[in-house]
Amino acid sequence: MNSKFIKKGIIIAAIASTILIPTGQALAADASSFLNLTKQSKEVDQNALINAVAEINDNTNTAKTIKIESADEIKLSDMLSGKAFAAVGGEGYLIVRSTADENSESIGKVYEDSVIKVIGRNDAWTKISSGNVEGFIKTENLISGKAAIEKAKALLTGMYPETDLTTLNKEVIDSSFSVGETNQEEVTRLAEEEAQRIAEEEARIAAEQARIAAEEAARQAELQARGQAVVDYAKQFLGNPYVYGGTSLTNGTDCSGFVRAIYAHFGISMPRSSYYMRNSGYEVSYSEMMPGDVVCYSGHVGIYAGNGKIVNAIDESRGIGMSNVNYTKIITIRRMY
């Protein structure tokens, strides 16, 4: 039997295992058996085979191990063949030079995951292309061969974590990798990214302003509702008598007693005299005044009812009634809720 049972270049597909060939032991069949086995599996490009080609010499005294890849693994490796990447280091990119010279012009960049096509190389420099950038990088920074295939597999696994990579076609694989960019492309990209950042920031600010405005509108609506409830309750006592020093909404009350009793109904405590009511709650401007606010005058107090009117205990002749909010000078307007 010929001493070499498998010659370099024979493709063995569909065997996902390791074959151990001890000294002097013939294979179960000659090379034609392997060829027949190959015919039963998929046709695979010879260039795609990794670790599946070996030479076995039966004159040696050392056992040899042949790693045979599966047909699917060979198919995937075939689709990834020709891929290369750059070892970019901590900066995250590698400068592409116009000539094979460290001092030559920078014409673009390739990044950690940018797929690279090798055009030609020597010991020091490799000519590459990636996207629209074509130039030179140092050969020592090139990741090619099986290392590049393993990197490509790792990237694809990250992109398609739930997918059997062997089901991806070459077009999908090729479109999954990023590419390098020329200096002008980088300038354009950075400008677009900055414009996008500004647009997003403006949108964020606008959204925040809209949120604040909506919250303020809701707060104002709530204040309006609460104030109107105060006014509606107070108006129930229109026509009831005014009694100096009184506190009864039905039998008689003075101005401060009236306001104090109305707010007590809503669980809000107020001082007894109109003078001390000037410091109750918090102050609002005339333009901000809304129904339910307490309007304080010199020696008098009432509740703003809207439309330029207050509901108040006026005097003994008029009792509890409506007055113009500006009937005299306003000292302060207080909001109690």
Q: Examine the pLDDT at 34 and tell me if it is beyond 70.
A: no
pLDDT of 43 over the 60 cut: no
> What integer best gives the mean pLDDT of the chain?
83
User: Pick from 62, 66, 57: which is nearest to 3 by CA?
Assistant: 57
Based on DSSP, count helices (H) and strands (E) in the chain, helices before strands: 7, 18
36, pLDDT greater than 80: no
**Fold: same for 85-179 and 232-335:** no
- For 145-149, what is the mean pLDDT? 89
pLDDT on residue 58: 42
The arrangement of strands across the sheet holding 309-315 comes to 282-283, 330-335, 294-297, 300-306, 309-315, 319-324
Gap between the Cα atoms of 261 and 181, Å rounded: 77
Contact present, 87 and 144 (Cβ < 8 Å): no
- Please report the DSSP string for 237-268 in residue order: TTTPPB-TT-EETTTEE-HHHHHHHHHHHTT-
Least confident residue range of 77-86, 113-122, 151-160: 77-86
Longest dimension (CA), the chain: 135
Per-residue model confidence (pLDDT) at position 76: 78
d(CA 10, CA 14): 13
Rounded Cα distance, 187 and 114, in Å: 18
Least confident segment among 31-45, 116-130, 182-196, 253-267: 31-45
65 or 144, which is more confident: 144
Q: How are the residues of the chain apportioned to helix, strand and coil, as percentages rounded to the nearest 5? A: 35, 25, 40
Tens of pLDDT, residue by residue over 49-93, are: 334 333 334 444 444 444 455 676 777 788 888 889 999 988 899
Task: Tell me the chain's radius of gyration from C-alpha atoms.
Answer: 44
Q: Report the candidate in 337, 251, 273, 262 with the shortest Cα–Cα distance to residue 303.
A: 262
Find which of 61-70, 114-123, 141-150, 195-204 is predicted with most confidence, using mean pLDDT. 195-204
- Residue 224, amino acid: Q
Residue of higher predicted confidence among 31 and 314: 314
State whether CATH 3.40.50.2000 applies to domain 232-335: no
Q: Give per-residue pLDDT as tens, 303-331.
A: 999 999 999 999 999 999 999 999 999 99
**Confidence band for 104, pLDDT divided at 50, 70 and 90:** very high
pLDDT beyond 70 at 42: no
pLDDT band at 174 (very low <50, low <70, confident <90, very high): confident
Reported in sequence order, the residue ranges of 140-281 that DSSP labels E, i.e. its strands, are 142-143, 181-182, 247-248, 252-253
Domains of the chain, residue spans: 17-80, 85-179, 232-335
Q: What is the pLDDT at residue 127? A: 96
Whether residue 19 is predicted with pLDDT greater than 60 in this model: the reply is no
How does DSSP assign 21-74, residue by residue? E-TTPPPSS-HHHHHHHHHHS----GGG-SS-----BTTSSS-EEEEE--HHHH
Q: Residue 32: what pLDDT?
A: 37
State yes or no: pLDDT of 142 exceeds 90.
yes
CATH topology of domain 85-179: SH3 type barrels. (2.30.30)
- The answer on pLDDT for 302 being more than 60 is yes
Percent of the residues in the chain that have a pLDDT greater than 70, as a whole number: 79
